[in-house]
Amino acid sequence: MTRALITGGAGFIGSSLVRHAVLDLGWQVLNVDKLTYAGNLENLKAVEGRNNYQFMQADICDRAAMQAAMDEFKPKYVIHLAAESHVDRSIKDAASFIQTNVVGTYTLLECALNHYRALDAEAQAAFRFHMVSTDEVYGSLGAEGLFTEETAYDPSSPYSASKASADHLARAWHRTHGLPVVVSNCSNNYGPYQYPEKLIPLMISNALAGKPLPVYGRGENIRDWLYVEDHVRALVKIVTTGKAGETYNVGGRAERKNIDIVRLICSILDELAPASSGKPYSELISFVTDRPGHDFRYAIDCTKIERELGWKQAESFDSGLRKTIEWYIGNQGWCDAVRNKKR
């Protein structure tokens, strides 16, 4: 049975990966998560009690705990998603970003390397350390062009700089120590169970509560959007068939201006859950001072993973957004619970 140690499995993308790995793939999964404000065991109700699922509450910076997890669980794959992930929080206070994203990744790499060195040759050939990263490491694009795997790193925010550092460390552990590392850089994800501080769930939950919909600047910034389950399928392709030392960009070919997304959310909500005031939700849109260092545009060229690994996204942006909105309408209790959780 494939044994995967997944970090950050109680978060948005991690919990989607854990559900897929445990329920659909039948992998033996150890989920290592500190349960910060962003980690929530409610996201994992579907796998609770399964005998191919284990949970360990621990900080990835805790070297003794990480080494024990590697030595006892003996993973074939380490899929590393644990991170501080919200750009706005990294602007207010970067300390936990440096600690978790940089020091935590270093700690995991060291522990994974010790584990790897103790494996026999066949197990070493199959082992992968998958560094799950973001397209934000590439910095900002102008109106034209796409990020490829060759694009130079040029991060703008403390968040993206900390992720870039982690990617560099992961590649260094491959080049220097021979650890079989794969790196993936993905565009913005959306879908169920995303903490309601990120654009799409924030807009949906604020609208449903009749609160203002804060849009940075004039909402002209462009992001490329991917449904979370498509990202998860890409992660599985990469860790199972990706070549050690390689990087794979993952994206949705769905570039949208922030303001267009917010308007689309409003119009779908007008149809699915009309406001009791009878007014359109778009009246709640309020433009606020732009985020400092706000990258203008991200767009991913994902032909490498399509061509070399045969991955294709299954969800269109319009169908994925509608599904997501339906999920948030049906799960407002989840939003209240995660927001009320203390760090």
Give DSSP secondary structure letters for 184-210. Answer: EEE-EEE-TT--TTSHHHHHHHHHHTT
- CA dist 47 → 30, 73, 106 (Å): 12, 18, 29
Contact in structure between 4 and 79 (CB atoms under 8 Å): yes
Asked whether position 147 contacts ligand NAD by CB under 6 A, the answer is no
| Residue 244 DSSP class | T
Asked whether position 309 contacts ligand NAD by CB under 6 A, the answer is no
Asked whether position 183 contacts ligand NAD by CB under 6 A, the answer is no
Report the number of secondary-structure helices (H) and strands (E) in the chain. 13, 12
Q: Please, which of residues 71-110 interact with ligand NAD by CB under 6 A? A: 81-85, 100, 104
What DSSP element (H or E) covers 130?
strand 128-134
Rank residues 14 and 284 by Cβ distance to ligand NAD and give the closer one. Answer: 14
Measured CA to CA, the distance from residue 190 to residue 249 in angstroms comes to 17
Asked whether position 172 contacts ligand NAD by CB under 6 A, the answer is no
**Choices 28-36, 111-119, 139-147, 307-315 (CB under 6 A): range interacting with ligand NAD:** 28-36
Amino acid, single-letter form, for residue 123: A
Asked whether position 14 contacts ligand NAD by CB under 6 A, the answer is yes
Q: Please, which of residues 109-138 interact with ligand NAD by CB under 6 A? A: 132-134
Per CB under 6 A, the list member of 6, 11, 155, 320 interacting with ligand NAD is: 11
* 42 part of the active site: no
State whether the Cα torsion 189-288-285-144 is positive or negative.
negative
**Choices 4-12, 87-95, 113-121, 264-272 (CB under 6 A): range interacting with ligand NAD:** 4-12
**Choices 55-63, 108-116, 138-146, 258-266 (CB under 6 A): range interacting with ligand NAD:** 55-63
Measured CA to CA, the distance from residue 60 to residue 194 in angstroms comes to 21
Active site residue ranges: 135-136, 159
Which positions touch ligand NAD (CB under 6 A)? 7-8, 10-14, 33-36, 38-39, 59-61, 81-85, 100, 104, 132-134, 163, 186, 188-189, 195
